[in-house]
Amino acid sequence: MTILEDKGLIPESQSGFLPGRRLQTRVLLFLEQLMSYMSNSSPVATVFVDFKSAFDQLWFAGCLGKLLRMGISKADIKWIGVWLYNRRAVVEIAGERSRWFPIKRGGPQGSCFTPILFITYHSDMEKFLCMAMSFFFADDLAAVIAARTGIRFTEQCIDLERRLNHFFALLEFYAILSVQPINYIKTQAMFSARAVSYPNPMPRISCGGYAIEWVKTYKYLGYWVTTKIGWGNMINRFRIRIRQQVSMINSNRFTGTTSPSLRRILFSTFVLPFFTWLFVLFPLFTHAQITDLSHYYYTSLKRIYHCLHWNDLFFSFAYNEKSLEDHMFLIIGLNT
């Protein structure tokens, strides 16, 4: 890892499996770029690319050859070659075993070096996709493409369609060149703009002969993104999951094997992480959304303690429970 950093081989657009680069940082950078384009009154298309069995499709010869061109020493490349080649596997189903067969693609499963090697091998991908702002997290790619500014909206949509088709042509070329197949079914695009109405019909885009689907919502690195960059949809999804978890915790009281302290521990383990996952987006939420989430946090806790009729302030004082904002400031303080 030190060799790669010293040679500057890890792109700034990559955050997966790298020290000091967090998933939440990549999400915020992606959202910042998307909203920046939209603020210029430019229609934007975000392409979420899914690579097929990414780590399992690593091309040995191509990877070692690229590492050599990157300036990695021959001794290190020889060690990596020994690590990749001459591996075998066997499949066992219901006690029946297949014959041993050689593994000709992909890095060893479970190894911490496999994702690093994959990232290094594809570190030049963003150079191929030069007309888009690319955001990588391991094998996840979100490419943001904006149309020209200063022209009519209809002309911008036509220009965006042209750029998208050019992007997919380059993406397909790179996939063939690096022997990294694309999962066309799961690769999707999302249209965003400040305009009230969207193009009808939507631009026709395809990659590798497969039509790319336009979606209105997409789950990107654990966060639901919508065309208008609103957060109500995602918050409602989280509220449903939280209510389900709280109901599961409370269901234990019917068996007689629970207590308030145990339910509180289960709440911290299975419910609180849903709230903390949203902390990174708090600056983007409206005041009403933050207030509603804070109240919902106390409501969920009161369901655990079976005192739903209590006032939030009195409940917080009686049980010495921190508010959702206090938890957020505490976590932010620990990470700074």
Residue 185 above 80 pLDDT?
A: yes
Confidence of residue 150 (pLDDT cuts 50, 70, 90): confident
pLDDT of residue 42: 87
Q: Which two tokens stand for residue 238?
A: 């989280």
pLDDT of residue 220: 93
Confidence of residue 2 (pLDDT cuts 50, 70, 90): low
Judge residue 311's burial from the number of C-beta atoms within 10 Å of its C-beta, 0-12 exposed, 13-18 middle, 19 or more buried.
Answer: exposed
CATH 3.30.70 segments of the chain: 2-56+116-226
* Most confident residue range from 66-80, 111-125, 304-318: 304-318
pLDDT of residue 123: 86
pLDDT of residue 237: 95
CA angle 215, 21, 186 (to 5 degrees): 25
pLDDT of residue 289: 95
Residue 281 above 70 pLDDT?
A: yes
User: Across the strands, what pairs with 49?
Assistant: 141
Residue 334 above 60 pLDDT?
A: no
Task: Report the distance separating Cα 224 and Cα 218, nearest Å.
Answer: 6
CA angle 261, 266, 269 (to 5 degrees): 130
Query: Considering only 147-156, 267-276, 326-335, which range has the smallest mean pLDDT?
Result: 326-335
The half-sphere exposure of 145 on its side-chain side, counting CA atoms within 13 A, is 27
Q: Which two tokens stand for residue 264?
A: 């509180």
Q: Which two tokens stand for residue 50?
A: 């899914």
Confidence of residue 71 (pLDDT cuts 50, 70, 90): confident
pLDDT of residue 6: 61
pLDDT of residue 130: 86
Q: Which of 11, 31, 19, 7 is nearest to 225 (CA)?
A: 31
Task: Report the distance separating Cα 292 and Cα 247, nearest Å.
Answer: 20
Confidence of residue 260 (pLDDT cuts 50, 70, 90): confident
pLDDT of residue 336: 53
Query: Considering only 23-27, 235-239, 257-261, which range has the smallest mean pLDDT?
Result: 257-261
**pLDDT digits 0-9 by tens, 122-139:** 888 988 898 899 998 888
Confidence of residue 186 (pLDDT cuts 50, 70, 90): very high
pLDDT of residue 256: 64
Give the residue, 163 or 110, on which the prediction is more confident. Answer: 163
At 206, the amino acid letter reads S
Identify each DSSP E strand in the chain by its residue range: 44-50, 88-89, 92-93, 96-97, 101-102, 133-137, 140-146, 188-192, 206-207, 210-211, 213-214, 217-220, 223-226
Architecture per CATH, domain 2-56+116-226, reads as: 2-Layer Sandwich (3.30)
pLDDT of residue 254: 60
Q: Which two tokens stand for residue 34?
A: 């998307």
pLDDT of residue 107: 85
Interval 62-67 mean pLDDT:
90
pLDDT of residue 271: 95
Residue 163 above 90 pLDDT?
A: yes
Task: Report the distance separating Cα 53 and Cα 50, nearest Å.
Answer: 9
pLDDT of residue 199: 82
Which residue has tokens 């009161």? 302
State how beta strands 213-214 and 188-192 pair: parallel
State how beta strands 217-220 and 223-226 pair: antiparallel
Contacts of 155 (CB under 8 A, 6+ apart): 148
Q: What sign does the CA torsion over 211, 214, 217, 219 have? A: positive
Helix axes 232-250, 260-270, angle to 10 degrees: 150
Confidence of residue 205 (pLDDT cuts 50, 70, 90): very high
The percentage of residues in the chain with a pLDDT greater than 70, rounded to a whole number, is 93
pLDDT of residue 191: 94
